Amino acid sequence: MNEAPSESELDWVLILAPFRKDADYIAASLREQNLVVRHSQAEEGFVHSLSLSPGVIIITHEALNPPVVATIAGHLASQPDWSEVPIIILLEKSAPLARIRGQLERFWPSARLLFHTRPIARLELVNSVQTNLLVRLRQKQVRDAIEREVELRLELNHRIKNILASVTSIFQMTRRGASSAEELAADFTGRLQALSNVHTAVFEAGGEEVSLSSVIAMTVAPYNTGGLSRINFNGPDVFISRTSATTIALCLHELTTNAIKYGALSQKDGIVDVTWSISAEVSPVFSLNWTETGGPAVAEPTRQGYGTKYVRSALASLFGAAPAITFAPAGLTCHAVGPLERLQQ
Q: Do domains 12-144 and 178-343 have the same CATH topology?
A: no
pTM, entire model = 0.48
HEC letters along the chain: CCCCCCCCCCCEEEEECCCHHHHHHHHHHHHCCCCEEEEECCHHHHHHHHHCCCCEEEEEHHHCCHHHHHHHHHHHHCCCCCCCCEEEEEECCCCCHHHHHHHHHHHCCCCEEEEEECCCCHHHHHHHHHHHHHHHHHHHHHHHHHHHHHHHHHHHHHHHHHHHHHHHHHHHHHHHHCCCHHHHHHHHHHHHHHHHHHHHHHHCCCCCEEEHHHHHHHHHHHHCCCCCCCEEEECCCCEEEHHHHHHHHHHHHHHHHHHHHCCHHHCCCCEEEEEEEECCCCCCEEEEEEEEECCCCCCCCCCCCHHHHHHHHHHHHHHCCCCEEEEECCEEEEEEEEEHHHHCC
* Model pLDDT, residue 204: 63
| CA count, 13 A, side-chain hemisphere, 280 | 0
Q: What are the tens digits of pLDDT across the range 289-323?
A: 999 999 999 888 887 776 788 789 889 999 999 99
Q: Which residue has the higher pLDDT, 244 or 198?
A: 244
Q: In which band, very low, low, confident or very high, does the pLDDT at 113 lie, cut at 50, 70 and 90?
A: very high
* Residue-range domain boundaries for the chain: 12-144, 178-343
Identify the CATH homologous superfamily for domain 12-144.
Answer: Response regulator (3.40.50.2300)
Q: Give the C-alpha distances (Å, rounded to integers) separating 176 from 169, 171, 173, 257, 301.
A: 11, 9, 5, 19, 30
Segment 97-112, tens digit of pLDDT: 999 999 999 999 989 9
> For residue 22, what pLDDT band results from cuts at 50, 70 and 90?
confident
Q: What is the mean pLDDT of residues 271-297?
A: 93
Tens of pLDDT, residue by residue over 207-226, are 678 889 988 888 888 777 66
Q: What is the pLDDT of residue 197?
A: 67
Mean pLDDT on 81-87 = 88
pLDDT tens-digit map of 150-168 = 888 887 887 788 678 767 8
CATH top-level class of 178-343: alpha beta
Amino acid at 54: P
Beta-carbon neighbour count of residue 293 at 10 Å?
Answer: 16
Residue 42: band (very low, low, confident or very high) from pLDDT cuts 50, 70, 90: low
| Residue pLDDT, tens place only, 171-188 | 876 676 677 888 788 767
**Confidence (pLDDT) at 289:** 97
Band (pLDDT 50/70/90 cuts) for residue 198 is low
Mean pLDDT of the chain: 84
